[in-house]
Amino acid sequence: EVQLVESGGGMVQPGGSLRVSCTVFGFTFNRYDMSWVRQAPGKGPEWVSAVNSNGARRYYADSVKDRFTISRDNAQNTMYLQMNSLKPEDTGLYYCARVSGLITATPLALHEYDYWGRGTQVTVSS
């Protein structure tokens, strides 16, 4: 059974840092491109970042570029999102998602994902 399990969310003050993780089960992790998507309260999903299967290519939304870093450890079946200089507008539920094909353009559309985790909450507030 395919599972994606996020962890590491929490509450942090503006300007702070947080790292969220996504550990996967039930499929060969190193064969798939992966992505982070977030959803703020009362808003639709927003693509945040993506990484190709071997970690060599990384993609970011303009809103997080130069503040967030995506990475993956294929030996540990885990993907990470290091978030620095956090802002209140970064608040939301952060989901990891498996890309069904290959990343050819960004932002990724919702139909390009085939599996999702349940999300981890990130709250940026003073």
Ramachandran angles phi, psi of 117, nearest 5°: -85, -175
Q: How confident is the model at residue 76 (pLDDT cuts 50, 70, 90)?
A: very high
Q: What is the pLDDT of residue 32?
A: 98
Ramachandran angles phi, psi of 105, nearest 5°: -160, 155
Amino acid at 4: L
- The whole-angstrom separation of Cα 68 and Cα 74 is 20
Cis peptide before 45 (omega within 30 of 0): no
Neighbours of 91 (CB within 10 A): 18
Give tens-digit pLDDT for 21-67.
999 999 999 999 999 999 999 999 999 999 999 999 999 999 999 99
Neighbours of 80 (CB within 10 A): 19
- Identify the CA nearest to 47 among candidates 30, 32, 65: 65
Q: What is the pLDDT of residue 8?
A: 97
Can you give the C-alpha Rg of the chain in angstroms? 13
